[in-house]
Amino acid sequence: MTDLQILASNIKRYRLFKGMTQTELASKIGMSPQYFSKIETARTGNLGLKYMIAICRELDIEVFQLFMEDSEVHVKFVVSNQNLESMERLIGEISKRVDIRFKQDLGGSKCREKRGDKK
Q: What is the pTM of this model?
A: 0.59
**Domain at 3-70, CATH homologous superfamily:** lambda repressor-like DNA-binding domains (1.10.260.40)
pLDDT, tens digit, for every residue of 26-39?
999 999 999 999 99
Distance CA 93, CA 54 (A): 33
Helix (H, G, I), strand (E, B) or coil at 7: helix
Contact 14, 77 (CB under 8 A): no
Residue 113: predicted pLDDT: 44
Sequence ranges of the domains in the chain: 3-70, 79-119
pLDDT of 45 over the 90 cut: no
pLDDT, tens digit, for every residue of 46-79?
889 999 999 999 999 999 999 988 645 444 555 5
Residue 9: predicted pLDDT: 92
